[in-house]
Amino acid sequence: MKTILLSGNTSLSYAVKQLDVDVISAYPITPQTTMVEKLSEYVANGELNAEFIPVESEHSALTAALAASAAGARVFTSTSSQGLLLMHEILFITAAMRMPVVMGIADRAVSAPINIWNDHSDIMAQRDAGWICFFAESAQEAYDKTIQSYRVAEDENVHLPVNLNFDGFILTHTYEPVTTLDDEEVLKYAPKKIRSLVLDPKSPYTFGALGSPEYYFEAKYQAVKALEDSFDAIVKADKEYKKISGRGYGIFNAYMTDDADTILVSLGSIGGSVREIVRRMRRDGAKVGSLSLKLFRPFPAKQIVDTLLKTKSVVVLEKATSPGAISGPLHMEIQASLKTFDVTIPAINIIAGLGGREIGPEDIRIMFNKGLKVASQKRVDTIMDYVGVNI
């Protein structure tokens, strides 16, 4: 166990090296580029004995990863923004074919206008592809979650692809001391597993066959059910990881939620800033709390509702929008979760930080104050609101 200075990008590269990945196929895109650069360096200097495939597009990057996974290899790929959108069709195929591919996503806005900075528009546009979907708050968490991702993806009760989201630039390019495990510990925690259904010339199987109406529904249902059922393996992997590293994250970080009048739900790196504002506002007597989600798919609806149960209002902060919809993707999910479990708490939606627009301490105070106002009024005037945009 040693502590080294790593950026979000290089923390993933370092974990992937320790996980002894067999095949890496990736195409560089800002802000993910330095991660792939580091991996190609590891392969070139012999630190990692892997096949590095410099493909011509992200469509091919994921296709090659999927095919290598079908052959039984441990694989890694990563992308961002437009690259993730170019992977769109293969994302669905990877999940339905039950391939344990692990992908890092350096979350970035989607064009137009061209923008290389952080928001969550890229992953939210792909959320129905059938992947397990994690969000990290720090480079340390990105490192830890990469290792956990392989353990979960390759679990014989799961066999699904996992994507690990970490915010572009905010995490990818900032350096922090990251406490790493020893190589042996990593492979002991996440050993490579032999799957029975792999491409093998001695025992040929058909992968990716046509599923006519007589077969498609059941095949699709199987993959959907696998994602629902992966929840226990995800929780267990985190607990086991805590035993060896001392670090566990749970499915979300709930901070000062027990007696909160309003709870702000967020995804990704903003969680730390939100908790800091909770501390400051608590000093002034405002009863506010934070719930930072680590797991987005499968969506932990029951657990979220249990945590929100006693609060008077909910603020869902998200860095993505769903044009023409009643609210943003995360808010819709939270709202539906509350309703499903018959809990009536007003929940408002704040869209902020699109295209890398800074979300400052004052912005977060504004969001909490909106939540406190709803809590005292017991009603919602505007479901969806934008903070930080000059209208």
Partner 1 sequence: MPKKVSEIDEGFVLKTPLSSMQTKTGSWRAFRAVIDYNKCITCGICWSLCPEPAIYLKDNKYTVDYDYCKGCGICAQECPVKAISMVRESD
Q: Binding residue for partner 1 (CB under 8 A) from 188, 225, 310, 378?
A: 225
Among 1, 4, 5, 221, binds partner 1 (CB under 8 A): 221
Q: Alpha carbon 5 to chain centroid distance?
A: 23
Cα-Cα end-to-end distance for the chain: 50
Cα atoms found within 13 Å of the Cα of residue 375, Cβ hemisphere only: 23
Specify the residue, 152 or 364, whose C-beta has the smaller distance to partner 1: 152
Site size for partner 1 (CB under 8 A): 23
Least distance CB 62 / partner 1 (angstroms): 16
Q: Which residue has the tokens 């929840």?
A: 231
Nearer to partner 1, 224 or 384 (CB): 224
Tell me the residue type at 181: L
Site for partner 1 in 85-144 (CB under 8 A): 96-99
Interface region with partner 1, contact rule CB under 8 A, candidates 201-209, 246-254, 272-280, 293-301? 201-209
Question: If binding is defined by CB under 8 A, does position 341 make contact with partner 1?
Answer: no
Q: Is 44 in the site for partner 1 (CB under 8 A)?
A: no
Asked if 162 touches partner 1 (CB under 8 A), the answer is no
Contact residue for partner 1 among 209, 243, 283, 323 (CB under 8 A): 209
Nearer to partner 1, 56 or 214 (CB): 214
Report which of 93, 87, 273 is spatially closest to residue 171, judged by C-alpha positions: 273
Residue 194 CB partners (closer than 8 Å, separation 6+): 72
The type of residue at 161 is: P
Q: Does 382 bind partner 1 (CB under 8 A)?
A: no
DSSP symbol at 44: H
Q: Which is nearer to partner 1, 131 or 368 (CB)?
A: 131
Q: Which among 76-84, 220-228, 248-256, 298-306 is the span making contact with partner 1, rule CB under 8 A?
A: 220-228
Nearer residue to partner 1 within complex by CB, 197 or 389: 197
Q: Which stretch binds partner 1 (CB under 8 A): 116-124, 131-139, 181-189, 214-222?
A: 214-222
Q: Residue 82 burial by CB count (10 A; 0-12/13-18/19+): exposed, middle or buried?
A: middle
Going by the DSSP 8-state scheme, the letter that residue 116 receives in this structure is -
SS3 45: coil
Least distance (Å) between residue 97 CB and partner 1: 4
Q: Which stretch binds partner 1 (CB under 8 A): 166-174, 217-225, 332-340, 358-366?
A: 217-225
Task: Please list every residue from 274 through 303 that binds partner 1, using CB under 8 A.
Answer: none
What are the C-alpha distances in Å from 305 to residues 24, 177, 228? 39, 34, 17
Site for partner 1 in 168-197 (CB under 8 A): 197
What are the residues whose beta carbons fall under 8 Å from the beta carbon of 100, sequence distance 6 or more? 69, 150, 153, 154, 158, 159, 160, 161, 162
Q: Which residues make beta-bridge pairs with 107?
A: 167
User: Of 75 and 315, which has the nearer Cβ to partner 1?
Assistant: 75
In the numeric block, which tokens belong to residue 37?
């650069």
Of residues 130 and 289, the one with the C-beta less far from partner 1: 130
Q: Which tokens is 35 given?
A: 């991660």
219 contacts partner 1 (rule: CB under 8 A):
yes
Using the structure block, give the residue that is written with the tokens 């970080």.
Answer: 253
Q: Please tell me the distance from the alpha carbon of residue 145 to that of residue 277, in angstroms, as a whole number.
A: 26
By beta-carbon proximity to partner 1, the closer residue of 215 and 386 is 215
Residue 58 Cβ vs partner 1, minimum distance, rounded to whole Å = 22
159 forms part of the interface with partner 1 (CB under 8 A) = yes
Answer for the pair 290, 266: CB distance below 8 angstroms, yes or no: yes
Using CA atoms, how far residue 201 sits from 13, 195, 204, 263, 324, in Å, is 32, 15, 5, 55, 50
Which residues lie near partner 1 (CB under 8 A)?
96-99, 159, 197, 204-207, 209-212, 214-215, 217-219, 221-223, 225
